[in-house]
Amino acid sequence: MTAILQADELVKSFGPFNAVDGASLQVEERSIHALIGPNGAGKTTLFYLLAGYIKPTAGRVRFNGVDITGLSPNAVARRGMVCAFQITHVFPRMTVAENVTCAVLARHRAQHRFWAPISAAIRREADELLHSVGLTALAGQRAGTLSHGDQRVLEVALALATSPSMLLLDEPTAGMSPVETERTVALVRRLAQERALTVLLVEHDVNVVFSISDRVTVLHQGRVLREGPPAEIRKDPAVIEVYLGEAA
């Protein structure tokens, strides 16, 4: 398969400390790829480097064969790679439908028209997004009153409104109940298949990781310790020593 995202020897230094220390990563198109590791391994920093939220000290990032190193998050998103974060970013006083409509208008660069009559095409696109993530029944509810799990699903819908080819998920099941976790895993798997999406996720729940991922990259002390299919990662002695034993 073709690599849609490639990071080469990324370094991010904070003074004398390298939070990411020469990490390389390759994510294949239309795969679900997980990034795991113990606390302090550099997962979040690497995630932010890939998405453009922080600039690398050294190394390069390529997306769809184009160098995007140092580009802003908005510029990265316009190229088709969009993030959904652990801390939800929704408009709490607006309804679920209004949140999604705003995101659709933004993709069409028409957010200034939000208070004007919305076209039937925009409404239809928003309705289809709500249906695809299972939030149609909550369309008229204020986003701030949703459960944590439903707010995370809404944020996924907002990301999908940009029509990305790649979705970056930061701890997609953090703080969820077992039922919400199961629903979210099924949703991500279905959306990836139906929309031909590539997904890169940072996740602490190893059960989620091994149930959903095609490939797994393990970070340790800012470096890639191992990378491979879940069955191999689960049995790797080095991974068990530095992470899976701790996670279990």
**Per-residue pLDDT tens for 94-149?**
999 999 998 898 887 655 555 556 788 889 999 999 999 999 999 999 999 999 89
Residues 6+ apart with CB under 8 A from 245: none
What number of residues does the chain have? 248
pLDDT at 90: 85
Which amino acid is present at 42? G
**Per-residue pLDDT tens for 7-47?**
999 999 999 999 999 999 999 999 999 999 999 999 999 99
Tokens of 136: 């149609």
pLDDT at 225: 96
Tally Cβ neighbours within 10 Å of residue 60: 15
pLDDT at 146: 94
Strand pairing category for 81-84 and 66-67:
unpaired
* pTM for this entry: 0.90
**Per-residue pLDDT tens for 51-104?**
999 999 999 999 999 999 999 998 999 999 998 864 457 889 999 999 999 889
